[in-house]
Amino acid sequence: MTRHRRPVLQKTRRAGARTSNSTHQLSGKGKGDRRQDRFDHGYSLGYVRGFQAGQERYGTPFDGTSIILPVYNQRNQLEQCLDSIFSNTDRPIEVIVVDDASTDDTLAYLQRLSGQIRYHSHETNRGLASAINTGLMMSKGSTICILNSDTLVTPNWLSGMLNCLHSNIEFGMVGSVSNRVDGEQQIPVPYEHVKDMYDFAAEYNIPDASRWHSTDRLFHVCRLMRRSTFEANGYFDERFENSGFADEDYHLRMRLLGLKLIVSRDVFIHRSFQASLQEQDGHTQSSQDKHAAFFQEKWGNAYDWLQRIRKQHGMLAGRQCQAFYPSQVAVTGLNDANYWIENGAKRPVQGELRIPIVRVSQLELRGWPTGVPIEAAAVAEKWSKQHATEGKIPDGAVFKTELGKYYRREGEACRELVSDHALNRWGFADKVAIRTEQERSDLTEQLPIMAHPVIHSYHI
């Protein structure tokens, strides 16, 4: 993605304007200067029209797979990975490389590939979760593959994973097996040299549905999901940076939506012994301890939540992350528009809003259908009524019981907040009332409220 200086659009001559005006504007200029002016003017018009056309078509998906390659200082491995993709992929694809501020010649290499791939280079190192998010934001494919840059894909790799993914609507994400992964995705290999790897892979990659099975987690070497799954689940939580807890968090959220994680054991992808972007900075003990603590802060007993939701509410595929977000809150996205979330829709707020406003990603914002507009004064009145401490628990109130748990009333239901982190992310910490378990028991318990992911990137 070569960067160009955006030209300044000059004013065009009005239709019917006299030629003498134009002649006067060009007086004192030579023929070469006038030619350059016409070129600059034409280039400016072309740029603006092309930019507008690009904006109109940007959100148009294509029936193929977006392959996202996050990379940091792995230029040689990246080149080998790209060669393997172009040599062993027979399905429609787009390749998106996200350079997380590499200090080697990765960016120069990507610039030479203009037209063959799409890429973005972070100005500062933001971590693996952020690099993946940038790639997700750029992707247009109906399916999305997140692939390590230190891998070599093999014949029939993508067709095999697509066959698995599309065989069952409940399959949320599919992962391959490899020679260097954690857990059940690792398999022994007979070869010692990469030159012998492709013969092994050709014999191994035979379609066989009996070799597909569900798992609790997928390693980050190669994963495939539908675009609809990404849109339902949202972005990775960037507070996990390079840690494997970013994957753990993303997979947990996917399972809460009723989707399954699947190992496609009939697809093998080779992984080199070069440290990946994740492992270069994510596997020190201090880093792991920090991210483990945040995972605990965010979820508490994460897998207890999973079991409780499965038992109490079922695990029906088709949920979106907004099902776990609160109602009666004000949100905003990238621009200055504010919305009031109510009854499963986002209502555009008209006027200046003077209550807490929560920033969410554009993807999350689009997940709520747009409802009828609402005046800012009406929103403020709704918000103030949530703070009443006398009488019955008001609709929209956040309260804590003697058991130390936090809840929010929504209609005739109450929803437990998963953690203090969720309480803070939605701006509820300053409006907690004290109520009793008896009062809470009069309400029907519905899906809990979880925190939306932390996203630092300005463009998401």
Nearest to 67 by CA among 120, 118, 125: 118
Q: What is the pLDDT of residue 12?
A: 33
Q: pLDDT for 107-129, tens place per residue?
A: 999 999 988 999 999 999 999 99
DSSP for 198-222? HHHHHHH----GGGEEEES---TTE
- For 81, residues 6+ apart whose C-beta sits below 8 A from its C-beta are 69, 147, 148, 149, 150, 151, 152, 153
pTM of the model: 0.85
Tell me the C-alpha distance between 218 and 247, whole Å: 8
Q: Which residue has the tokens 């203009």?
A: 114
DSSP element (H, E) containing 293: helix 285-299
Q: Domain segments of the chain: what residues?
A: 62-304, 321-445
pLDDT digits (tens, 9 = 90+) for 238-277: 999 988 999 999 999 999 999 999 999 999 999 986 554 4
Q: Is the pLDDT of residue 52 over 60?
A: no
Question: Any residues with CB less than 8 A from the CB of 58 and at least 6 apart, and which?
Answer: none
| Residue 208 C-beta-side C-alpha neighbours within 13 Å | 10
pLDDT at 3: 39
State the helix-helix crossing angle for 302-313 and 245-256, rounded to 10 degrees.
10
For residue 57, the model assigns a pLDDT of 56
What is the model's pLDDT at position 13? 32
Report pLDDT digits (tens) over 140-164.
999 999 999 999 999 999 999 999 9
Closest CA to 428 of 446, 410, 444: 410
Confidence band, pLDDT 50/70/90 cuts, at residue 282: very low
Q: What is the CATH number of domain 62-304?
A: 3.90.550.10
| pLDDT grade for 285, boundaries at 50, 70 and 90 | confident
Average pLDDT in the 21-43 region? 53
Q: Does residue 51 have a pLDDT over 70?
A: no
Euclidean distance between CA atoms 21 and 23, whole angstroms: 5
Q: How far is CA 149 from CA 87, 91, 180, 453, in A?
A: 15, 19, 14, 25
pLDDT band at 391 (very low <50, low <70, confident <90, very high): confident
For every residue of 122-141, DSSP letters joined together read -SS---HHHHHHHHHHH--E
The conformation of residue 229, written as its DSSP 8-state character, comes to H
Predicted local distance difference test score (pLDDT) of residue 459: 66
Mean pLDDT of 414-437: 95
